[in-house]
Amino acid sequence: MNTNDVLYIVVPCYNEEEVLPRTAKCLEEKLVALISAGRVSDRSKVLFVDDGSSDSTWNIIMELHKSNSMFSGLKLSRNRGHQNALLAGLMTVKDRCEICISMDADLQDDVNAVDQMIEKYREGCDIVYGVRSSRKKDNVFKRMTARGFYGIMKLMGAQTVYDHADYRLMSRRALEALSEFKEKNLFLRGIVPLIGFRSDTVPYERGERVAGKSKYPLRKMLAFAVDGITSFSSRPLRYITVAGFLIFLVSIVMIVSFIVQWALGGTVSGWASIVCSIWGMGGLIVLSLGIIGEYIGKIFVEIKQRPSFIVDELVDGNDGTGAEDGESTE
């Protein structure tokens, strides 16, 4: 078994002073167990990312780091939100580890799933998603909004892993691929599946927040959902085009039916022409908006500068160092 694989556990923290000492203890125990079982290198660490907390979160991280070199910290200049804090952490550990696992600070994600994630990594997966096995612990409201969210995402054509929060393992090359995505409007759950590579899921039971309050009130949750949908799809624009076309079609049908009725002598004069113009013009206006939208959609895709491809493997006799096959320089 390869014990040289350095594991970094990345934990974004925003005003988590109440829960952080317990989280640290829990992660330390896990890491020590993994190291002594020889499953990860003894240089493995936990990286806490302080997302501009206004409480003593950073002091706690500093204390932890002083007392145990297993803990490291990254402090952002101000609060940038969970996704940005997480990305900052991932990009920091990218060149320092072979395996990285991201999880929340509140111990909602079952730490024991880490073992299975590493197991899958050993089997050759580059990305392992932690997926909630049930939503029993959630209230009806959260459950329904979550279901609605994944449903809409799917309808809009954005690929997400169902019931997966940001608890996941990523290999070094998956992190490198992630760094190729230049977009600023971040929604990691949508981007990570775009990376590709061999991936798998590990089910886990998501518990209650151990201490402190949720940093995701309804307002932030809605903003997160809208961001997720609008950054991954220009399909809403296509729907506008289709709607405009359908409305225009209705006006054509109306005109035909009014002509028929007129021929049969059954129309009220004046009414038909007004209704037809309203539907006809309305349809054309919406259709034009849709067409403009299509172009904006193209700009939207271009401006993200996403990588056109990510290479999984290259099999080539030439190793790129100039040495030809058979003429080994060894």
In the complex, least distance from residue 51 CB atom to ligand UDP, rounded to whole angstroms = 4
In the complex, least distance from residue 115 CB atom to Mg ion, rounded to whole angstroms = 21
Residue 89 or 244 with smaller CB distance to Mg ion: 89
* Residue 200's binding partner out of ligand UDP, Mg ion, none, with CB under 5 to 8 Å set by partner kind: none
Residue 14 or 187 with smaller CB distance to ligand UDP: 14
Contact between residue 267 and residue 258 where contact means Cβ atoms under 8 Å apart: yes
Residue 116 buriedness (CB in 10 A; 0-12 / 13-18 / 19+): middle
Closest to 228 (Cα-Cα) out of 298, 159, 315, 285: 159
Residue 12 or 244 with smaller CB distance to ligand UDP: 12
Residue 48 or 248 with smaller CB distance to ligand UDP: 48
Q: Is 267 left (phi over 0), alpha (psi -120 to 50) or beta?
A: beta
Residue 232 buriedness (CB in 10 A; 0-12 / 13-18 / 19+): buried
Q: Which positions lie near Mg ion, rule CB under 5 A?
A: 104, 106, 108, 209
Q: Which positions lie near ligand UDP, rule CB under 6 A?
A: 12-14, 16, 51, 79, 81-82, 85, 104-106, 108, 209, 214-216
Residue 212 or 236 with smaller CB distance to ligand UDP: 212
Residue nearest to Mg ion (CB): 106
Ranges of H-type helices in the chain: 20-36, 57-67, 82-93, 113-122, 140-155, 172-178, 188-195, 218-232, 235-263, 271-303
In the complex, least distance from residue 15 CB atom to ligand UDP, rounded to whole angstroms = 7
In the complex, least distance from residue 209 CB atom to Mg ion, rounded to whole angstroms = 5
Contact between residue 35 and residue 42 where contact means Cβ atoms under 8 Å apart: yes
* Residue 16's binding partner out of ligand UDP, Mg ion, none, with CB under 5 to 8 Å set by partner kind: ligand UDP
Residue 216 or 295 with smaller CB distance to Mg ion: 216
* Residue 12's binding partner out of ligand UDP, Mg ion, none, with CB under 5 to 8 Å set by partner kind: ligand UDP
* Residue 85's binding partner out of ligand UDP, Mg ion, none, with CB under 5 to 8 Å set by partner kind: ligand UDP
Distance separating alpha carbons of residues 7 and 46, to the nearest angstrom: 8
In the complex, least distance from residue 258 CB atom to Mg ion, rounded to whole angstroms = 60
Q: At 9, is the secondary structure helix, strand, or coil?
A: strand
Residue 5 or 51 with smaller CB distance to ligand UDP: 51
In the complex, least distance from residue 146 CB atom to ligand UDP, rounded to whole angstroms = 10
Phi/psi at 141 (5° precision): -60, -50
The type of residue at 251 is: S
In the complex, least distance from residue 76 CB atom to ligand UDP, rounded to whole angstroms = 9
User: Following DSSP, what letter does each residue of 126-142 receive, concatenated?
Assistant: SEEEEEES--TTS-HHH
The type of residue at 320 is: G
* Residue 277's binding partner out of Mg ion, ligand UDP, none, with CB under 5 to 8 Å set by partner kind: none
